[in-house]
A and B are shown apart, each in its own frame.
Chain A
Amino acid sequence: MKKKFLKVAVATMLIASMFTFAACGGSDNGDGGNGDAETIKIGAFGPLSGEVAAYGTAMTDSAKLAVEEINAAGGIDGKQIELFVYDTKADKAEAVNIYNRLRDQDEVVAIIGGTISGETLAVKELAIADNMPMLTPTATSADVTIGAPSIFRACFLDPYQGSAAAAFSVETLGAETVAVLYNSDDAYSEGIAEAYKAAVEAEGLEVVYYDAYTSEVRDFNTYLTQIQSAAPDIIFLPDYYNRIGLIATQMKDLGMEQIAVGVDGWDSVEIDYAEQVEGFFFVNHFAKDDPDPIVQNFIAAFQDAFDREPNALGALGYDAAYILAEAIKNAGSTDAQAIIDALADIEYTGVTGPIRFDDEGDAANKNIAIIKIVDGKHVLEEKISAK
């Protein structure tokens, strides 16, 4: 009897682990090709599947687009760029595996990534230890670049967008009371909620409701009922688009009429939930209806290549690829320290505005756009330009 039980237990574990590994091993090596020595190898990673798949695909597709453009224009001093793209599924452990693979197997000279803060923080210590030049287009968590000389960031930071959203709530929307509902499992959501709360309270506003849910929650009725009875002027929801879709749907089901204000994680919410988020506002990296030719050229090129509209993460991925290429060109070599030094000195104007890095490696004084969702489209409501 005992033997039989052991056999069954071992077999079960083997089968279970087989499936787990099978599910993890599906990374595809997008532009891999044959690695000849005359190419400059760059890695990129992000969630290409899973809850926030729209981010990773937008970021890496745009990076691919930029690399194709650079290669078509002659590459970097005649050398073509070879881009290695992997899917993290928004999983921290997977991000570490991918980082190791990019470094050891693909032998990349620099990395564009990660896409979301969690996966970027997961590889942060490794990138510091290896002195790997890494430029994250889209990880907004403040921690990403702190004490990390080889890591740079092309987007604005969470406290910055939290206070921009707060200023907009107070000045443009004229709110006097606000409710804040955030995700306590996510450093991104929590960090912005804190920054927003501090900023609106400094303006003398009353935060009438402040609570958090966890990632597994699908039923937001309870929170929304509490918020409804607190009757705030606006509701601030710092989270990613899939969950915002859920919350907005349940707001409408409960008949709530408040306007919600959000953050860059909302980008793409209009794909599945246009009706529910109609008239809501969010802070973003660029506006699709910005008449600036650099913006419109990027949108046209992206639409041409992928037959869909780009989002803000795409714009940042595109900028990041150009910045990295320019840094490698300026460095005149693929030596890690030379690339890092060149990145620190870069001056570049991209789709998301002028970008240069401060001492911490963060993009200083970024443009910030406030988007209103009208008829399922992004409309630029306000633009705060870099000084």
Chain B
Amino acid sequence: MSNHLALLGRTAQYVLLSIAAFVSVFPFLWMVIGATNTSPDIIRGKVTPGSALLPNTANFLAAVDLPRILFNSFLIAGVGSALTLLVSSLAGYGFEMFRSRVRERIFGSLLLMLSIPFAALMIPLFVMMANLKLINTYQAVIFPTVASIFIIFYFRQTTKAFPHELRDAARIDGLKEWQIFFFVYMPVMRSTYAAATIIVFMTYWNNYLWPLIVLQTNDMFTLTLAVAALSAGYTPDFGMVMVGAIVATLPTLVIFFLLQRRFVEGMLGAVK
């Protein structure tokens, strides 16, 4: 009897997971199939690949200055991620390594700040950027999110697993604090950095609202904004937009697959 139940339970698990996996992956397949079909075929729900891939690609390349847009996206996401990881991990490390009552209070208020909607900060930030004459620049997109509360929080959690003896040994060997951070802490925590890289890169790459506000000319657009502009309106050319969607999705997918194993290890540390 219990064997039957167990078998039933296991079958149910497989069915559940298979449905979930199918539902998760299907839109990706749909995107790839869509890129080969014409827009009316896509709206009609045609599930077989068509022969419109080349015209769709040509239309996309005609509508978007792809090299320029890619350059913008990679520059913003790359520089933004590097700065965010450096600054936020330094803060997370600091919070965990040098505890004091004041630090704890600051940390507590940081968590509260997570709850302020970005929409509330947009206007003051926008005016600030205007005053600094930074509207329509890369700096304006990157700066406000470099100190990420979520990433600080994440690094603080994972640093709990960092062996303090390592730091003490390094101190005895005469290393300065910054040397300890760069040459001891960072290499030891590489899984954590991998996980954070995926999250931060994804966030910059896919960011929509803030770039929409501060980037105002087409030549400064990120891939996200360019594809969003193409897909606006009630009947966009879906075939062309699907090609754009693939281009917009590929970099994060590649990064995810490259760092995947470390990603799961990094998350393991976060919740200890």
A and B bound?
no
Binding site for B on A (CB under 8 A): none
